[in-house]
Structure 1
Amino acid sequence: MSEDLLNEIEAINSIYDSSTLTSAHEIPDEIYILALPNHATSLRIQFPAAYPDVPPIILGAQSSGENAKKGDAGKLVDFVRDIVGRTWKVGEVCLFDVIEEVEEGFGAGEEEDDGGDEEGEEFADYVEGTAVERKRDTSNGDIDIEPPNWTLSSVTTELKSTFIARCISVSSPALAAQYIQHLLASDKKVRSATHNITAWRIKTPEGITYQDCDDDGESAAGGRVLHLMQLMDLWNVMVVVTRWYGGQKLGARRFAVINAVARDAFVKGGFVVEKGDGKEGKKGKK
């Protein structure tokens, strides 16, 4: 098994469920079962020894759910084969793109005609709805904290990928971890996102400093956001940048968008003072 495939399996099982891509324990041993997120049908996939220099082989359906319509499994297999044919490139792993395209596209035609305006309205409603949900959410399971009062950035869409950032004052690494836990537990839309990139910087009254970040599968993104915070000299604040992947790769452009929405959240949250000469200065927020 190639290192690329090992890394891909690890990434997919960390982004989605830990059992999303598992070995079929068969001979040949490169056959895997892909349990597609939010779909009852699972697929059998063979990864040749030369993968990703050669494409994976979609062998067929492993199983389908009790409520699946007749022929759905076959349609899904054909749909995934078509995605592999379009997205695979020599030397590049492709299964993440396959999963995201299935999430975005399979069955969409039966439910939507256009959806372009509806998507924008959906995220506008989402931004408004978060404030309402915060008021309703006075407790959440075992997470014993007040509902965090996040400041949200504007929503940005690039090639069907949607980005939004939220920031909040934070005084300790433990509190930062609780805020993230609360966010994921209380917001289904955030929980189902492709990536939730986090970064925080904390300075105690005694001068002890903490800083950390998490890419959540978006390689190097957390470090870039943390570097942005360092350049802006921001302290006692954390940010979560959420991305819903839209099926088209952005390349390095995604890092610019991620940093842009993060900065927008910092400005909207009052952590940054805009100066007349266009430069920025830090602003403490309690």
Structure 2
Amino acid sequence: MFVALPILVQWLLILIAHCKAETTDDKIAAMFRRLEVVEKKVEQVEKENKVLKKENKRINEKLETCGCANSQKDIGFEEPVRAEDVQYTNEIKLNGTTSLRPPLSPIQNVKTLNFEDHKRNYRKSLSLGTSSTTITTTTRMAFLAGLSKPITSLGSHQAINYDLVLTNEGQAYDSLRGHMVAPVRGLYLVSACVFVDPNNYLALDLFKNGQLISNFFPDGRGGHYDSESKTLPLVLEKGDIVWMRTHPGSEGHALPAHGGSLYNSFSGVLLYEM
């Protein structure tokens, strides 16, 4: 009994040592398995990271192309051209007359706005129903002309050359031909006054291009002065020609001047462009 006890103790020690060895081996094997899983995950993450880097680079290139890769990057906008900054030139002539046209003006002042300002301005333009700045110029046109001397004998279909020009804003009236040429499409007021001395009469016509617009028939055969005047609102296209001429049957009649008193006159004004 006393001899077998040490042997039993020895076997128990061996068994315990063997169990500890198996436990340690299992733990080490489990650790290696976990390391393999972690390595595989790391490898997968690295692959995904490469893909994301490529995609990020592609997005940045597109943003730079659009000019909005950096929200702090300044963007240039044109400042609207003021009407007082537009210089008018007399370069375009229509049927012998000179018309004022604003030249194409280069951009003079450029403001820089950051991306946030740009977005605010864009939203504001959408709320106003327009996505860009609109630059408008107003054409000015008005003329008044009369006779400096009488026409003693009118010819057939003779255009009346009102040579005494008091106003010719925009140079739309040609005194050499007696023609008004519309510089733009718009609504115009065209006026004429036809005057005759006592015991005289005549008829004049107001024409637009080849179209009769109105007749004037002052009659002084009762021994008195007589006149007739009309003011007509006309929609004219750009380049339309308006003038006064002798009505058939009035050839040889006289058109008095009376020292430039504007008894006989022709005038027009542009109310607004259309």
TM-score range, shorter chain: under 0.3
Larger Rg: 2
Q: Between Structure 1 and Structure 2, which shows a larger proportion of helix residues? A: 1
Higher relative contact order (CA 8 A, sep 6+): 2
Structure having the larger proportion of residues in strand: 2
